[in-house]
Each structure stands twice: as C-alpha cells, then as structure tokens.
Amino acid sequence: MSTPVKITAVHVYPLAIAGDASNDFPVACPMSIYPEYRPSRPLWRDNFGAMLVRIETDAGVEGIGYTSMGSLVCAVTIKLHLARLLIGQDPTRVERLNDILVRSTYHQGRDGFLMHAISALDLALWDIKGKLAESSVCNLLGGPVQESLPCYMTGYDADKVIRGGFTGLKIPLKYGPASGRDGLRTNVDDVAALREKLGPDRDIMLDCWMGLDVPYTLELARALEPYRVRWIEEPLLAGDIEGYRQLRSKWTSDTLIACGEHETLVRGAEPFMRDRLIDVWQADVTWAGGITEMQKIAGLAIAAGIKIIPHYGYTPWAAHFILACQASPAIEWYDLTGDLVGDEPLFTSDMVLKNGRLSPGTAPGFGIEVNWDMVEANLDRRLAFAEA
C-alpha cells in the first residue's frame, strides 16, 4: 500500500482590481436607496479582487484554486488560520478537508469572503486530486453530460454576443424602487432596445443584484412581458426566504426567477429548493464552498426540478462542475480582461469555446496554466505577506 500524499505548503496570491465595465453605469443594488451612492458601485464598494491559491504536496504535485472576489480578506483567513488545518493532510480526502474548513469557521459565519477562501482551497484540492489520478476534474465528477454546453454572455456588448454565437445577454438592471417611475421606464426602455438589437430569438436576462423589493419586481416583470425576458436574477436581498416566498405566490409571468449568487453551502440552498421558490440557482462555485458543496446542492436541485447555472461559470474551476452536472443547461461567459492590469489572460486552459458553446478539456485537474507574470503585475501588496 502506497504512502498517502501530504500537503506541505499553502500559498496565497491576492489580486488588485483595476476596473469593471459596470462601474460606468448605475446598477440597482442594496445601496441604491441612498442617492449619493446610486450613480455607480465604486462609490461604496470594496476593491478586493480575485485570489489564487497554490497548494504544494510532497509528491511534487500542485493544485491551483481560485475565487473571483475577496482577495486580501481571503488571504488573511487562509494564512492566519486555514492553512495550518491543511498542512500534513492527504489532499485527496477532499470531503473531509472541506468539512474541517467549514466546521472550523462556524463561529465566524457561513457567508461572504470567509466562504470564498474555503472555496478556493477546495478547488485547489480537486485540482490536485485530478492530477494525481491523471484525470480531468470533469471526468472525476462522472464526465460531461453533454459534449458541450451553450453559453450566454454577461455585460453590455450585444454585438459581441451576436458575433460569438452566444445564446443571449445578461445586463445589469440600472434602477430600483428608489428611482421611481422614471427609473422603471428607463429599465423597460433598455430591455426594449436590447430586444431590438438581439432580435427575437436570443435570450435577455436581468441582473438585479439584490436591489428590488417584491412589489417592484412584480411590476417590472409585467412591464417586460412584451420583450421575452428569460429570467430576472436576484431581485431581493440574499437570504430573504420569506420575500421569495411572497414573490413566488404572486408570480404570473413566464419569466423565470433566479437567485443564489450570494448564498453559500447546501444549507443556504435548501430552503429555496425545498419549496421551489426559484427556477434557476446561481451559486458561484468559487464562493459557495467549492465543488464539494456544489455537488450536494446539485442533488437538491435535481430533486426539485431547478436548474443550476452558476455565477461566473466560464472559469475552468466552475465549468468542470457545470459540464458534469445534470441540472446545468448553460454556462455564463464573462470577459474579465478589464479587471486586471495587462493585456494577457491571468490563466489559460484546454477548454474550447466555439460558436458560443464550451467543451471540456482533458488535461489532468482543471487543465489550468497560470500566467505568473500577470499574477506578479496584479498582486495586491497592501499587506506584507502577499507572495510574489
């Protein structure tokens, strides 16, 4: 019997964020009730970017994990607490290690950047497990359900959607209830113009980013009926189970209700799924607890007939899960080049995007090659332990 592989080191790489296309526009959000913060999110939002983690083993195999938000806060949590719980452990026992990380932080909370940090570590462990097994993570999870999945784009570029063969475009909703009737009319006009641009067949989705309430969401859905909106996403505050219960009880639109981006763990998903309060669950694989938790959420979704279309699904860490998930019919594609300094990608993989459809790669683990020069150029150095 061979000696188990052991984890020998955990490294963190918090990244600074350079910008985001949505910074140039108002975006409905919880802060929209305050006029001074309504014009754009940088007026109130943190500037913590993505974070990479690298876990080393005594077998010479390394795992790369990722979370798209939380950078320095996640790095502090890992370096000063979570890393020591992994050193000396067998990285292939992912379920056990994920449980240890979650249980060790119950006193700190179960949401937010804490779970982002745990997610990044979980994904690095899956990367190691795949590499040691000489298998892609997608194949470890049972293999792709379909040969490829269609992608929709999130952003503002309708022309790029059409050129790339994407199934549709998700745009941020600009205004919430505090902007009154004028804001509502502008929201409807934006969707009408986008429908004209995209034509009758491509999907339109609206990201409301927790910026609405039940009456406004119902009125918005009615006003948008002529424009065939595929779903309205996260209209209410995260965790507002009773609000979604009210929304579902009064919902008459063919538009789907989506949420879950800011929910974590299977416990966060269970109330929504048990009572079928939503149609689409959008937990982020790099926020919600990693693939280990997403597998459990998928079981609930399949039983409830709810689709799983994760936030930021295009990253290899998410896409390997999505492609192997029976409940996932599509992948979110997002162009993040504006978030970093430099013209090169932060990482590449052997996944293939062609005519708006994403196919899995076959390289071991997630098949990721990190551009360490880009990491170096974008490190957030406000804390001394940020590693070059």
Q: Which residue has the tokens 């000063």?
A: 80
Residue 321: how many CA atoms within 13 Å on its side-chain side? Answer: 31
Pairing mode, if any, of strands 307-308 and 280-281?
Answer: parallel
158 Cβ contact list (under 8 Å, min separation 6)? 169, 194, 197, 198
User: E-strand spans in the chain?
Assistant: 7-16, 48-57, 62-67, 149-154, 168-172, 203-207, 229-233, 256-259, 280-281, 307-308, 331-334, 347-349, 352-354, 357-359, 368-370
Separation between Cα atoms, residue 57 and residue 97, nearest integer Å: 15
- Residue count (the chain): 388
Q: How far apart are CA 13 and CA 87, in angstroms?
A: 18
Catalytic residues: 311
Assigned token pair, 61 = 């195999």
Distance from C-alpha of 169 to C-alpha of 218, rounded to nearest angstrom: 22
CA–CA separation, 241 vs 237, rounded Å?
Answer: 9
What amino acid occupies position 184?
A: L
Contact 54/13 with Cβ under 8 angstroms? Answer: yes
